[in-house]
Amino acid sequence: MYSFSAEVSGGYDEVLAKVVEALKAEGFGIITEIDIKETMKKKLDIEKLPYKILGACNPGLANQALEADPDIGLLLPCNVVVREERDGSVTVAFMDPVAVLGLTDKSEIEQLARDVRSRLERVRDAL
C-alpha cells in the first residue's frame, strides 16, 4: 500500500481549498501543482474530471531528509491528489511517506517518514 485517502464533502474547488489550508496548518506548502484535466485536454484532447496533483513540502522536514540522504529528492515532494469522482464526490489521496521513503532503508529517514505520515493523517482527518 502506497497511499491512504478520504472522501471529502463539498464541491471540488471547495475541497481543494480545504486541502491546501489543512496542509498549511501542518507546515506544508504547495511547491508544485499539476492539473491533469487541463493537461489531458491540451495534450490529448481528452475530457477528464477535475484532478490535481499537489506537491506538498514541509521545508524543515525536507531539509532533514536531504541531510540524511541527498538522493531523497527523487522521492520528494509528498504528493496529494484531489480528484472528482464520476458520482460528483471528491476524493483526497495522500502518498504514504512510510511506504515511499522506506525505500531508502535508513533508520533516520524511516522515523522522519513516520512523522510526515502522522502530519498527513491529521490533514486527512481535518477534512
* Number of separate domains in the chain: 1
Burial (0-12, 13-18, 19+ Cβ within 10 Å), 53: middle
DSSP string, the chain: --EEEEEESS-HHHHHHHHHHHHHHTT-EEEEEEEHHHHHHHHH------EEEEEEE-HHHHHHHHHH-GGGGGG-SEEEEEEE-TTS-EEEEEE-HHHHHGGG--HHHHHHHHHHHHHHHHHHHH-
pLDDT digits 0-9 by tens, 4-41: 999 999 999 999 999 999 999 999 999 999 999 999 99
In the predicted model, what is the mean pLDDT of residues 61-83? 96
Boundaries of domain holding 23 = 3-126
Report the alpha-carbon distance of residue 90 to residue 15 in Å, rounded. 7
Instruction: Kindly report the CATH number assigned to the domain that includes residue 97.
Output: 3.30.310.70
Query: Is 90 exceeded by the pLDDT of residue 92?
Result: yes
pLDDT, residue 105, reads: 87
pLDDT, residue 43, reads: 98
In the predicted model, what is the mean pLDDT of residues 47-62? 97
